Amino acid sequence: MEFLNEYGLFLAKTITLVVALLFVIMIVLANATRQKPEGKPKGHITVYKLNDELDNMKEDIRHEILDEELLKLEAKEAKKKDKAEKKAKVKALKEAAKKEAAAEKAGEEHSALEFLEDRKRIFVLSFDGDTAASDVEDLRHVITAVLQVARSGVDAVMLRLESPGGMVHAYGLASSQLARLRKHGVHLTICVDKVAASGGYMMACIANDLIAAPFAYIGSIGVLVQLPNVHRLLKDNKIDFEMITAGEYKRTLTTFGENTDADRAKVQEEVDEMHGLFKAFIHEYRPALDVAHVATGEVWSGTQALTKGLVDSLDTSDEWLVAKCKDADVFEVSWEHKRGITDRLSSLFEGSLRSAIAKSLTHWMHRADKEKFFS
């Protein structure tokens, strides 16, 4: 028993020392990073073809359930087909080059790509919104990249959107980024599998086609301002709060000061004005929608939202993508941040800590369940 106690003490000291060293290393690296001049956001665009992913998934299953001889025969036929397609593609490229040369002689500026009868391309983006719409920075990079290659009137964008809403100015910027796609003639489809409420719906309503899963949360077209006020608590404890402003409405409702009816009236006026802008914005992109009827702050399921005109159809993003992969080239596009050693160590430490806490909580929850039902 004494050996176990000594070993436990030694183990605790070792863990404490390791954690302390990691903490010191992280602080040193963080300070070194801060001393470097900050430049443009570091990262890059990542792209992968969803058609290939679906084909690979299908082939994995087929190789398990089909006869080996049949698979060999199909592989042989597929090879012939690929060869024919490559031959046809080379022929099309040569014809396009000839047309480009002819246009150049006629004094016209055309690229060979314009003469190619290429398949439609769909670019799939994602936005997972929090209160501050933090993903807007990634979204603006991706949309800028897509607009460099998307063909107006031909290619399209599908956005997987999940957001319960948040700060007006942040979601206003996110909505403006999506509006860039429509401005350049790129068809925009937005799929909501779980929730697009408040600022999330502000983004969603921009879609040419808005699709929601049957049980997704849609709506919450309203504006909210709330904050606690501890003025009476401070007053009871004889604590004074001083605030000096210039401008009649520089500060209205406060957390520490005494709020008046005039302050509340002014904030209500601002909230009503913002609500009016919200409704006007929705009407601009969905003119057939009875905005006054749905701008009550209520939330509906996807099925209810369809009957009210808030969405255009019911489906999941997965079903939509599988269908589109049959006649279009579908690419998932995202912005990947370049992570420094500080970020990696921080993520590793946080991940390990979260994992340990999760395991501990799970253990005690299971133990509580057993004691509850089996004691």
Residues catalogued as catalytic: 198, 250
DSSP 21: H
Using alpha carbons, select from 334, 312, 320 the residue that is nearest to residue 127: 334
Q: Which residue blocks in 47-167 are alpha helix, DSSP H?
A: 50-65, 68-105, 136-147
Sign of CA dihedral 351, 162, 180, 116: positive
Nearest 10 degrees: CA dihedral of 337, 342, 346, 352? 100
As a whole number of angstroms, the distance between CA 197 and CA 209 comes to 17
Give me the sheet containing 299-301, strands edge to edge: 195-197, 217-219, 299-301
Q: 3-state class of 277 per DSSP?
A: helix
Looking up tokens 């599908």 gives: 158
Strands 299-301 and 217-219: antiparallel
As a whole number of angstroms, the distance between CA 335 and CA 53 comes to 19
As a whole number of angstroms, the distance between CA 273 and CA 295 comes to 13
As a whole number of angstroms, the distance between CA 58 and CA 69 comes to 18
Sign of CA dihedral 199, 203, 205, 211: negative
